[in-house]
Structure 1
Amino acid sequence: MDLSSASSLNALCNLLKPENEDSDSDEDQPSTTLGKLGPGHIGELTKPPSTTDKKKATNPDSKNIWDEEEIPEGSEFESTFDPCPQPEFDIMYKQAVTSEDIFLQMGNKTNATSSCEAMVIKIQLPGTKMADVDLDVKPKYLDCRSPKYKLGLHLPHPVDDKSGKAEWDKKLEILKVTLTMKREYDFVNM
């Protein structure tokens, strides 16, 4: 007996089907077109967007190449040409721990960045005075400019741009920016 044909599989399904189940649903019936199934048939079937939906989403009079959703966040702050070099910088993470976290391990804090509350960015600006530094912080972007250096940094985590702190170390000529991280699931890790 050859079980590879669709009619043989259909007959086998009818044999194994319980007698009291009389359903006319298409889902219960085996497919007789086995060759038409592919990876696109896994999960819910969604209809492709119609051409009227595409026309509603884009403005035909606009000369824009991209939609606003396609532009990465923070790219509007980048300048296309600036001859200033990028300074050296370090990104470190900071968390408030107590003796219960360290010795008794009672909290759920780990040494991962998900348990950190703040991000510290140290920017080395040799030959620069504090008065010459211009710092602008956005939720996902940090812009630091001086006459000699330019740093446009996409931040690895979103931050609270209203509650940051910047300190200038005159001796080492380092700008230390401390930013509070603001992530969606911080309530789980803190």
Structure 2
Amino acid sequence: MECLGASSAQNLQALSALLSAQQEEEDENYKNKTPSAGLGPGHIGPPTKKEVSTAYVKKNSKDIWSEEEVAEGSQYDDLADPRPQPKYEILLKQSVGTEDLFLGLSGKDPSSMCCEAMLVKIKLPDTKATDVVLDVKEKFLDLRTPKYKLGLHLPHPTHSRGGKAQFFSEREELEVTLPTKRPMDFINLQ
């Protein structure tokens, strides 16, 4: 058994020497590598000058952000205002005719890309139409009443000037219809 133990100790030492020699050889090969070995496909061609993005260049040294970085409607966010947010629902509207429904001639589909307008239904219990103050921007709807406030970031850009609002006293609900700005109008022919 001792003979086997001595043999295995010699084997371990021989293995250790073999591995350390191999490690030294790899280290030596790594040092001798040319700088081109670390190059990739992005290094092909003449070196390009990296341009600084103008979106983050400050115009005034005292400014800590630019106007483009601030989300539209953030000036209306008031965390100290105790008024609750009313319940609301956003529906997308699409004009569909019989040629769309039965024949599919216009190429419209049920996706939001083909919708022409956005309908925002806002429940306003115990509110009169004269108490509602509504301001609509391209991507933000701001509604204020004595009892409620709603600052709503809209899911799609809208034509704020072409919208209409209607208050239904019997349902105590305000419906705001806003035509959407669709990025692919050349596909969604009207």
Give % identity: 48
1:157–1:44 distance in 2 versus 1, CA, 3 Å: farther
Structure exhibiting the larger radius of gyration computed from Cα positions? 2
Deviation at 1:169, TM superposition (A): 1.1
Partner of 1:70: 69
1:158–1:33 distance in 2 versus 1, CA, 3 Å: same
Find the residue that maps to 2:160 and give its secondary structure. coil
Partner of 1:143: 142
Match 2:36 to one of 33, 38, 47: 33
Find the residue that maps to 2:110 and give its secondary structure. coil
Specify the code of the residue in structure 1 equivalent to 2:84: P
Gapped regions of structure 1 (runs ≥ 5): 6-30
Distance 2:56 2:172 in 1: 54
Matches within 5 A, 1:1-190: 33-37=36-40, 41=43, 46-49=48-51, 57-60=58-61, 62=62, 64-190=63-189
Find the residue that maps to 1:162 and give its secondary structure. helix
Per-residue CA deviation, residues 66-106 of structure 1 (Å, 9 max, x unaligned), is: 12222122323333431111111000011111110000111
Distance 1:173 1:43 in 2: 67
* Paired residues of 2:133 and 2:144 also in contact (CA < 8 A): yes
TM-score by length of 1: 0.72
Distance 2:124 2:45 in 1: 54
Specify the code of the residue in structure 2 equivalent to 1:178: T
Q: Which has the higher helix share?
A: 2
* Paired residues of 2:93 and 2:116 also in contact (CA < 8 A): yes
1:44–1:71 distance in 2 versus 1, CA, 3 Å: farther
TM-score by length of 2: 0.72
The alignment yields a C-alpha RMSD, in angstroms, of: 2.9
- How many residues align? The count is 156
